[in-house]
Amino acid sequence: MTEPHPPAERDRTAELVVVANRLPVDRIADGDDEGGWRRSPGGLVTALEPVMRRADGAWVGWPGQPDIEVEPFEFEGTHLVPVALSADEVEKYYEGMSNDTFWPLYHDVIAEPRYRRVWWDAYVRVNRRFAEATAAIAAPGGTVWVQDYQLQLVPQMLRDARPDLTIGYFHHIPFPAYGLYSQLPWRRQVLEGLLGADVIGFQRVADAGNFARAVRRQLRYETKASGITVPNPDGSTRRALARAFPISIDASSYIELARRPDVRARAQEIRESLGNPKKILLGVDRLDYTKGIRHRMKAFGELLEDGRISVEDVTLVQVASPSRERVEAYMQLRDEIELTVGRINGDFDTMDHTAIRYLHQAYPREEMVALFLAADVMLVTALRDGMNLVAKEYVASRIDNRGVLVLSEFAGAADELPSAIRINPHDIDGMKDAIMRAIDMPAAEQGRRMRALRKKVIEADVARWSRSFLDALDDARRQRHGERAQA
């Protein structure tokens, strides 16, 4: 195993540093291993780009492949600082601790979390490397914004190294109830790691509540409304803020794509290539056990079996993009889903029509918007989901005010989108009725609901999300300086 070198010491010039497991770029291989970089499609990148430019920003993250050493480089106005991970670290920190322990535990143990001490050791080591790389580039008195569950220890590590910084952390996934959280052998260290931040953001009010409860139960710190009183090593105290900042999408870029004639023509082409069914149902997910893909297929298969729908009239398109393919639970899920698709299609397909068009692939945003425009019903049936941005992408794309969103109450988006048809994905009969209601919904009702949904998504877009989080961090900075001036 080759030990990655520590990141090069750099000038401390970045006023704003974003720290995330992944860099906001993907490597494009060109055969001779040199390759270039392409901006990754996520909304976070788009939202932060203008802020990063203004603030002389830097982004610290992993380039996405093991054992590659890349020097810091400039990309579209942002200074990118790659953090190298060895193959062993990818296995223990990323696949193990992040995605086989935290991910299932935080999603209400839909899959069984595994607690391995060697994974935890790697997690601590890698979090320290991220914290060191950040401490080396952040400007004096600057702001750092740490992203997600892969890096929960970074806030406190950074505070120890650089008490001058204002530190934010945003948790993109759910934070579970204390009864589940308390399974974690390192439950105390993780809470302490997160509380190194001045502002700790969650998707839903319930997540922030679960976090505050864990802090009270485990650390006995006082919490009041969104404020948590955290003791300093010198016996004084400081205040951390823990509250909801529901994330969103760059709605205008979806609207723009939905207006493009080539995208609209593609939507028509998709409908035709499916044999022009009366209704197209659509699921778009990372292939993940939290998404309720099996439950959705069970409901759809039963509707065919019951004769309430037929393959001539209704097709389900399921895009399941490959994800975390070396983690056992994901391999198992893929097998189960592919078996189910094969069975349903085998039982119901005709020469001309298919029940489920299953695509284990990822597509560019243009193709996704074309699919959204082609789909009469969007099925979001997550068993647990921090937010679910696909629900918002579908809504933003429907500039025609048509289409129906069926949305699980266990997705964070349900808090903001009450005009969707709400479902409990564990209740298969209820889900079947909801799907039928969506299929049969008159155009006028579709329009009413879709207009309300669109209003919400367009108002609360990702630019507003990042602004409100950074404003809260600014307040925290002012408060700290005020406190210092008084002391």
Contacts with ligand G6P by CB under 6 A lie at 22, 148, 172-173, 323-324
SS3 323: coil
**What is the biggest distance separating any 2 CA atoms in the chain, rounded to whole angstroms?**
79
**Cβ count within 10 A of residue 334:** 16
The nearer residue to ligand G6P, 92 or 172, going by C-beta atoms, is 172
- Is 206 exposed, middle or buried (CB count within 10 Å of its CB: 0-12, 13-18, 19+)? middle
Pairs from 44-50 (Cβ < 8 Å, separation ≥ 24): 44/20, 44/147, 44/247, 44/462, 46/250, 46/253, 46/462, 47/250, 47/462, 47/463, 47/465, 47/466, 48/18, 48/24, 48/466, 49/76, 49/77, 49/78
Alpha-carbon span 395 to 415, nearest angstrom = 15
**Tokens in use for 19?**
């720290």
CA distances from 329 to 112, 150, 324 (A): 9, 18, 9
The nearer residue to ligand G6P, 103 or 254, going by C-beta atoms, is 103
Q: What is the four-CA torsion angle of 5, 6, 11, 15, rounded to 10 degrees? A: 120
**Tokens in use for 480?**
């700290």
Contact 145, 168 (CB under 8 A): yes
The nearer residue to ligand G6P, 264 or 324, going by C-beta atoms, is 324
The nearer residue to ligand G6P, 79 or 172, going by C-beta atoms, is 172
Q: CB 279 → ligand G6P: shortest distance, Å? A: 29
Q: CB 185 → ligand G6P: shortest distance, Å? A: 22
Q: How many residues does the chain have?
A: 487
The nearer residue to ligand G6P, 172 or 264, going by C-beta atoms, is 172
Q: Which residues contact 482 (CB under 8 A, 6 or more apart)?
A: none
Q: CB 330 → ligand G6P: shortest distance, Å? A: 10
Q: CB 371 → ligand G6P: shortest distance, Å? A: 20
Q: CB 127 → ligand G6P: shortest distance, Å? A: 14
Q: CB 222 → ligand G6P: shortest distance, Å? A: 30
Q: CB 285 → ligand G6P: shortest distance, Å? A: 11
Q: CB 203 → ligand G6P: shortest distance, Å? A: 10
Q: Taking phi first (over 0 means left), then psi (-120 to 50 degrees means alpha), and beta for anything else, what does residue 168 get?
A: beta
Q: CB 251 → ligand G6P: shortest distance, Å? A: 18
The nearer residue to ligand G6P, 148 or 393, going by C-beta atoms, is 148
CA distances from 68 to 26, 128, 146, 217, 366 (A): 13, 19, 23, 42, 31
Residue type, 310: S
**Tokens in use for 247?**
């994330």
The nearer residue to ligand G6P, 170 or 300, going by C-beta atoms, is 170
Residue nearest to ligand G6P (CB): 172
The nearer residue to ligand G6P, 171 or 271, going by C-beta atoms, is 171
The nearer residue to ligand G6P, 61 or 301, going by C-beta atoms, is 61
Quick one: which of 165, 83, 160 has its CA closest to 126?
A: 83
The nearer residue to ligand G6P, 22 or 477, going by C-beta atoms, is 22
Q: CB 103 → ligand G6P: shortest distance, Å? A: 8
